[in-house]
Structure 1
Amino acid sequence: MLSPSFGLALLLTTLVALGPLSTDLYLPALPGLTQTFATDVAQVQLTLSIFLVGFAVAQPFYGPLSDRYGRRPLMLFGMGLYLISSLACMLAQSIETLIVARFFQALGACAGPVLGRAIVRDVYGPLQAARVLAYISGAMAIAPMIGPFFGGWLTVWFGWRANFAALALFSIVQLVVVFAMLGESNAHRDPAATQPRRILGNFRALLSARGYLGYLLCASFTYASLFSFISGSSFVLIQIYGLSLQWFGASFGLVVTGYICGTLITARFTLRLGPARMVMMGAILGALAGTLLAALALLEVRSVWAILLPMTAVLVAAGLIMPNAFGGALAPYPKMAGAASSLMGFVQMTLAAAVGIVVGHAFNGTAIPMTGAIALCGWAVLASYFLLVRRSGSEPSPRPPSPGRG
């Protein structure tokens, strides 16, 4: 069985980072793809949103399957699928082919964060999980910070296909390391975990707990606000504000430093203040910063800093919310860690994909659709906290339903 170590934390960080890296590395290439494939902004943004759809579709399967068969075999399968799909993206000759390949790439990439979070819960237990997830999230933020920067240069030097070639090489290294070093962490395998009745029963039990539902919505609306920026930022900053591909990457990296700051604050204070209080502070900050961001866009303040500075504060809030929401949600469920993680991921990715599609279709040559979505999501996080998390109190954890026939 696995035991806590720096090497394990480092490996889990790279696995959890696979999703953000898969979306952020090729962001600078998005505006150019409209000319490459002779298509519109909405179709190009669909390559991002379909990735989240694939993530969402895979979540309910990885969790229960890993609860029954273990984390390791599912992680190996996911990494192999990711490698094949990355090569298909690299070789795509039409926007339709790229969209389909991105869907399957997401099915493989999904194994990293879903199983990675479950492994953290397996190895570190309920008290340390939020803190370890915060450290992993802070280190993981390096991926979206440097991803657009290197993606911009790769696109300038070698074209957009080089981004997917880099992802394929990265996945080869991960696959080898997982095969050689990642042992099994699931000490509570549940033979009935994949029975449809058990899966639905577990999900029903989780959603009936006000605390879990509140944390789920806080994490989901937070990620939806981040994805609004991810899907819209390249068009806003490059097409509207005229940033070069290289400067876009640097600007994106500046914003992501906010997330790193938030996760470092989380790692320092979560054990003292508790996940719920940390989520509350992040929710208040996110709602205020998102409102300022949208207000500056409505007032037509044509400065890059009117986007970057409030968005950095939104990312600080996300660093406070995300690790604590996941840690607080998963802590009571050692025997359902995979199911609890996968359900959170499913809702998170589905909501973010829907918001991303809306932002793409609403793009009107201004920053208003993107910033408006970020502000609305921020207030939704705040409402979820006060209406659900805060009112959950010492609500007892739901017990898994007894095994039944599928």
Structure 2
Amino acid sequence: MLRPTSAATVAVLAALTALGPLATDMYLPAMPAMAEALGASPERVQLTLSVYMAGFALAQLFCGPVSDRFGRRPVMIAGFGLFLVASLLCALAPDIEWLLLGRFLQALGGAAGPVLARAAVRDIHGPVEAGRVLSYMASVMAMAPALAPIVGAGLLTTFGWTAIFWLLAGYAVLMLAILAWWLPEPLPAERRQSIAPGAILANYRMLLGQRAFVGYTLTNATAFAGMFAFLSGSSFVLIEYLGVSPGLYGVLFTLIVGGFFTGSMLSGRYSRRLGRDRLLSRATLLCALGGVTMAALALLGVHTAWAIILPHIVYMIGFGIVMPQSMAGALAPNPQCAGSASSLFGFLQMTIAALGGAMVGQFHDGTSLAMTLAIGLSGVLALAAYARLVKARQTHDLATDGSHAR
């Protein structure tokens, strides 16, 4: 077994968290080919992404509280087992309906990895250090979305789109072996919680009553919605509308992930020096700047790949900071129910993102307009959520403390 505080354990937790971007990003270059092979419209194929996110959101409501009772490790093993079976179903799907079912089941199982890896970091490292560790985990995890589209494009051109799901099944087998033989249980027995419905609902009510939890969660969720809007629409915009090849799409996607990697590295480096909230103030401004610039260029009729990629790199630098710092901020006050807090955080994040992605698919008109407007709106909402719910609360608290001191 690995030591809980070792670098190897952090790397394993990052690999578990990477399941989310692998399951979404690897098949993005194949979406137009899947539509043709399955005789489905682009809107139906885009729905496989929204269905995955909706299932991911739903599963998170349950896997976190269950792990608060039985431990993180057994729930992750069960989740990856289901993900393995669902990946095989996707690979063998004869039509779009079976693929949608497989993607939904993939999400139900795959949610355990990211949700419980976040909770495990809070279990092991505490409220302050968790932000820094999550930042470095995000840096390691960034390799997954950087490589996933390139690998997906290679598998598509060499073996066809089904090979992508066979590879995801192999990844699940590898993670199951690591969970079974090397990862220690991070949740001590004395901190286990009840899974009675009343206790779970009481935890959720308590969390929703915390302005800090709601503020950090909505800051993350709205910024994440912009990233998801790009995932949902980018292959159709760049490949079909702008004529980018699947291989070049993978390279451009890697540049965007480089933005996320840069942001997460800056988050880890300056976490102690600047603090969580000063970092978030700058990061949400970057998200708004990148998103609004992209939308403005589309409205002005600038329809080139770089008019999308360059602003989105700026957006992703901001999101690379927002992601770990908002997670740590939401989980910090709740060590007694870190699994439930991580679940509710992820549920709101994925639900808002899935709605945004579905709207991109619904209003997609063959151009970049729907996607770029969604990303611009997401950046503005992330900035507003931080300013109105997190920063405003801190200003109020400081003013209150000052009046008490006088």
Compute the displacement of 1:190 (Å).
5.3
Partner of 1:161: 162
Aligned pairs for 1:220-239 within 5 A: 220-239=221-240
d(CA) in 2 for partners of 1:191, 1:9: 22
Partner of 1:88: 89
d(CA) in 2 for partners of 1:191, 1:336: 9
Q: In 2, are the aligned partners of 1:211 and 1:395 still within 8 Å (CA)?
A: no
Compute the displacement of 1:197 (Å).
1.3
Compute the displacement of 1:189 (Å).
5.0
Compute the displacement of 1:355 (Å).
0.7
Partner of 1:335: 336
Q: In structure 2, what residue type is equivalent to 1:197? A: G
Residue 310, structure 1, aligned to residue 315, structure 2: no
Partner of 2:401: none
Compute the displacement of 1:188 (Å).
5.5
Compute the displacement of 1:270 (Å).
0.9
Partner of 1:295: 296
Q: In structure 2, what residue type is equivalent to 1:119? A: A
Partner of 2:402: none
- Tell me the secondary structure at the aligned position of residue 119 of structure 1: helix
Partner of 1:137: 138
Deviation sequence 1:103-141 (CA, Å, 0-9, x none): 000111101000000000011111110000000111111
Give aligned-pair identity as a percent. 45
Runs of 4+ in 1 over 4 A off after TM superposition: 188-192
Q: In structure 2, what residue type is equivalent to 1:241? A: L
Partner of 2:217: 216
Deviation sequence 1:43-88 (CA, Å, 0-9, x none): 0001111000110110011111111111111011011111111111
Compute the displacement of 1:302 (Å).
2.2
Q: In structure 1, what residue type is equivalent to 2:132? A: R
Deviation sequence 1:131-179 (CA, Å, 0-9, x none): 0000011111111111001100100000000000111111111100110
Q: In 2, are the aligned partners of 1:60 and 1:343 still within 8 Å (CA)?
A: yes
Partner of 1:73: 74
When structure 1 is superposed on structure 2, of 246-255 and 1-10 the one drifting more is 1-10
Aligned pairs for 1:2-401 within 5 A: 3-187=4-188, 192-393=193-394
Q: In structure 2, what residue type is equivalent to 1:371? A: T
d(CA) in 2 for partners of 1:362, 1:56: 23
Q: In 2, are the aligned partners of 1:75 and 1:112 still within 8 Å (CA)?
A: yes
TM-score (norm 1): 0.95
Compute the displacement of 1:392 (Å).
2.3
Deviation sequence 1:162-216 (CA, Å, 0-9, x none): 0001111111111001100111111265565311111111111111111111000
d(CA) in 2 for partners of 1:65, 1:50: 23
d(CA) in 2 for partners of 1:336, 1:272: 28
Q: In 1, are the aligned partners of 2:68 and 2:193 still within 8 Å (CA)?
A: no
d(CA) in 1 for partners of 2:55, 2:191: 26
Q: In structure 2, what residue type is equivalent to 1:152? A: A
> For the structure 1 residues 312 and 191, does the alpha-carbon distance in structure 2 shift closer, same or farther, using more than 3 Å as the test?
closer
Q: In 1, are the aligned partners of 2:115 and 2:343 still within 8 Å (CA)?
A: yes
d(CA) in 1 for partners of 2:72, 2:193: 16
d(CA) in 1 for partners of 2:175, 2:256: 27
- Tell me the secondary structure at the aligned position of residue 101 of structure 1: helix
- Tell me the secondary structure at the aligned position of residue 88 of structure 1: helix
- Tell me the secondary structure at the aligned position of residue 335 of structure 1: helix
- Tell me the secondary structure at the aligned position of residue 94 of structure 2: coil
d(CA) in 2 for partners of 1:386, 1:304: 32
> For the structure 1 residues 106 and 189, does the alpha-carbon distance in structure 2 shift closer, same or farther, using more than 3 Å as the test?
farther
RMSD (Å) for aligned C-alpha atoms: 1.4
d(CA) in 2 for partners of 1:272, 1:4: 22
Q: In 2, are the aligned partners of 1:122 and 1:334 still within 8 Å (CA)?
A: yes
Deviation sequence 1:205-244 (CA, Å, 0-9, x none): 1111111110000110111110000010000000011111
d(CA) in 1 for partners of 2:194, 2:386: 30
Greater helix proportion: 2
Q: In 1, are the aligned partners of 2:4 and 2:184 still within 8 Å (CA)?
A: no
d(CA) in 1 for partners of 2:99, 2:270: 43
Q: In 1, are the aligned partners of 2:27 and 2:152 still within 8 Å (CA)?
A: yes
**Unpaired runs of at least 5, structure 1:** 397-406
- Tell me the secondary structure at the aligned position of residue 113 of structure 2: helix
